[in-house]
Amino acid sequence: MTKAKPFIKWVGGKGQLIEQLDAQLPADFDNWNDVTYIESFVGGGAMLLYC
């Protein structure tokens, strides 16, 4: 499955930090049901689209 890319390029965006941010997520995060992910300042949506 192809993952979506951030929809805008933003200086200081999280796109270059995805691997470090991913390491902070719980190991079983992909298996959680009924989870609401809130990214208050979406920007380019890098983390939102990665999850």
CA atoms within 13 Å, Cβ hemisphere of 25:
18
Per-residue model confidence (pLDDT) at position 51: 67
Enumerate long-range contacts of 25-31, CB under 8 Å, 24 or more apart: 25/51
Residue 20 lies in a domain: yes
Tokens of 11: 């200086």
4 within a domain of the structure (yes/no):
no
Domain housing 46: 13-26+39-51
Total domains in the chain come to: 1
Whole-number pLDDT of residue 2: 72
Question: Tens digit of pLDDT for each residue in 5-49?
Answer: 666 665 566 667 788 888 888 888 888 898 887 776 666 677 777
Identify which of 44, 48, 51 has the alpha carbon closest to the alpha carbon of residue 10. Answer: 44
pTM here?
0.51
In a domain, 33, yes or no: no
- Give the DSSP letter of residue 29: G
